[in-house]
Amino acid sequence: MDQAQALLPVITLLFVGIVAMIAMRPINMSPIVGYLIVGTIIGQHGLGLIEENETTHLLAELGVVFLLFDIGLHFSLGHIWKSRRDILGFGPLQVGLCTIAFGALALVFGLTSELALIIGIALALSSTAVVIQTLADNGQKNCPIGTSATAVLIFQDICAIFLLVLASSLGDATVPMSELIISALAKGAMAFIAAILIGRFLINPLFAVVARTKREEIFTASALLIVLATATATEMAGLSLTLGAFLAGMIISETSYRHIVQTEIKPFSGLLLGFFFITVGMSLNITVLINNWATVLMVLCGLLFIKTIIIYSTARLLHFPQRSAVQLAFLLSQGSEFAFVLIAIPTMTTAIGEEFSAILITAVVGSMALTPVVVLLGQKIVKNILDKQMKEKTKEESLLQAEISPVVVFGMGIVGRKVVDALIAHNLPYLAIEMDYDRYVSANRDGYTVVFGDSGDLRMMETLNLSKAKCAVITIVRYDLSRDLTPIVNQRYPDLKRFISIETEEEKNKFEALGMIAIIDHSHPKGIDVASQVLASQGISKENIASWMQQEQNNALSEADLISSEISTASSNA
């Protein structure tokens, strides 16, 4: 009987978690919102179906642990270097300015300087779970907007780890805040160095042995062991379970087995994180919220407005195009799941009070729930900006403002975008041209720099001064046009290499007869075969090209796993 009683909280959490996921899917809202709502309903301030005990607390703690582990899996030194402008520039500036703004407001409301600092940083962060899902839903995950947003989230997640360390130590009045910060940074730095060394010299050989067994469940068990052991070690060292989980992910990210571990661990991560959000909802007091609805609405609107303005201003200050700054501002304007983690810490709940805790949590939940609507508003604003720009200038004026680059890409469909992604990844300048207005707007909205024009217009070629370009990449197959233009192009631009993406051997023979480099693209993801040859023409080494292609294929596999998981979930729900 005692064993059955111990299992009842788990059964209840599983049941309401499934209900939350099913309910949120038709209205295209994050499951996190559903978890918080059902938690509020079943909690002690609602129907009282479940009480908070050691079991629920352990499950909630493990949820946060696996969230940080998953974040660590996407973190590597190479990623930091490639995204250094965003991780070391945009991220710190945005977090710093938002912290000052929210911290100042917290002081106005009577909080101490220590609490104001922690609350300020907590509200400066954005929701990794919601933003990543929104990017995936909009097909922007690997676009410039997606990569910039992800880089900022990585920096924010690192800030959140140290924030949790500080918040956990808040109850110790004998230690000044400055000493806590210095101690946390020093211990964290040593832990990071240790993680890098362990990943390269211990874990990689260990997984090589595991791989020889050809048993996927051993990968799962090994990953669980590393997560829990590292989390426990950092907790015993005076840091936190969450930092250890992040470092465990970082350790595995430095190995070549990251993707299989990520696939094997995903079910545990999603399930336990759902438990955490449900337990946060259980702590909400409905009566407090009803009595303070005006304050909740004010905090929610203030959070969205202040973050949107600051993120937009920060992006423009760092010379992001206006369209990209708008997109990033609306995409990152919500609160973070780390605010729930922070407020759930007993010392924080006691320090700021139950009423203020409930108001903050509800405002953050509201901001996360509104993210799809807010992002859609940002996209409409970007479209209006582009429409206005098109009306104010002619096509020729738009082309004249385009910077002459060694690579000109005609067409920003799937293949064109992949070629541009490859050029961006290797810091090669490009000029992209699109004749379809909807694709032109979509590409600009996603952060690419694209001008509007027709590849078949000879006047446009003169305007672009193609004699300075080394190669042209054509992703729209129009054989008759290519045949008619070839004599003129050969005469005016004899050194210009023309790459074209085609699908059949017959097309390959026809275009090669025109002197073009025809590439049959059977790659997955589509476009990397063309992109690899363009990179080679620009002097990029075979090793770097192979590394980039492998990374793109790994990303595609991760996305395929996610889609497969969603299909399976949908089938189960049906």
Distance between CA atoms of 420 and 446, rounded to whole angstroms? 12
Distance between CA atoms of 350 and 354, rounded to whole angstroms? 7
What's the chain's average pLDDT? 78
Q: Is the pLDDT of residue 421 over 60?
A: yes
Is the pTM higher than 0.85? The answer reads no
Query: Who contacts 33 (Cβ-Cβ below 8 Å, separation ≥6)?
Result: 24, 365, 368, 369
- Per-residue 3-state assignment (H helix, E strand, C coil) for 132-177: HHHHHHCCCCCCHHHHHHHHHHHHHHHHHHHHHHHHHCCCCCCCCH
Residue that has been written with the tokens 């294929």 in this structure: 553
Q: Is the pLDDT of residue 225 over 90?
A: no
What are the extents of the domains in the chain? 2-286, 394-545
Residue 391 has a pLDDT of 67
Average pLDDT over every residue of 399-417: 76
Distance between CA atoms of 284 and 51, rounded to whole angstroms? 13
Q: What is the pLDDT of residues 301-359, one digit of tens each?
A: 999 999 999 999 999 998 888 888 999 999 999 888 788 777 767 777 777 877 788 88
Q: What is the pLDDT of residues 368-378, one digit of tens each?
A: 878 888 988 98
| Closest C-alpha among 221, 223, 233 to residue 255 | 223
Structure-model confidence comparison of residues 256 and 378, the more confident one: 378
Q: Is the pLDDT of residue 246 over 90?
A: no
Residue 301 has a pLDDT of 93
Q: Is the pLDDT of residue 559 over 60?
A: no
Of the candidate CATH numbers 3.40.50.300, 3.40.50.720, 3.40.50.2300, 3.10.105.10, the domain formed by 394-545 belongs to 3.40.50.720
Q: Is the pLDDT of residue 567 over 60?
A: no
Q: What is the pLDDT of residues 511-551, one digit of tens each?
A: 888 888 888 877 778 888 889 988 998 888 888 888 888 87
CATH topology for the 2-286 domain: Na+/H+ antiporter like fold (1.20.1530)
Across 178-182, 416-420, 536-540, least confident range: 178-182
Distance between CA atoms of 451 and 471, rounded to whole angstroms? 17
Average pLDDT over every residue of 551-567: 57
